[in-house]
Amino acid sequence: METMKHIAHIGTDGILQIVMPTDFHDTSVEVVVVVQPLSSVETKPRYNAWGKLTTKESITEAIFRMRQLGKEVALDKDSIREMIEEGRRF
């Protein structure tokens, strides 16, 4: 059993859409929903620059991807020194 807590928004049409990160695929599961209204400050969903809902998981994933990209494009110290020396020649 896996317990997750998410903040969601019920639209004016009364539909609650929940997107859950999970390892379960193509299987039946039992879901328990507890509905508790939040204060007006907490109910406004936040979205990232791409229009996707911002969650703790999405922020964690973005940080991981940025660190991974930094490792992929990082230059070693010798390469940086060579570039500086090359720039000084002009």
pTM for the model stands at: 0.34
pLDDT tens digits, one per residue of 10-68 = 888 888 887 777 777 888 888 888 888 877 655 577 787 777 788 888 888 888 988 88
In whole angstroms, what is the distance from residue 61 CA to residue 59 CA? Answer: 5
pLDDT value, residue 52: 79
**Residue pair 42/7 in contact by the 8 Å Cβ criterion:** yes
- Neighbouring C-beta atoms of residue 64, cutoff 10 Å: 10
Q: What is the pLDDT of residue 22?
A: 73
pLDDT band at 90 (very low <50, low <70, confident <90, very high): low
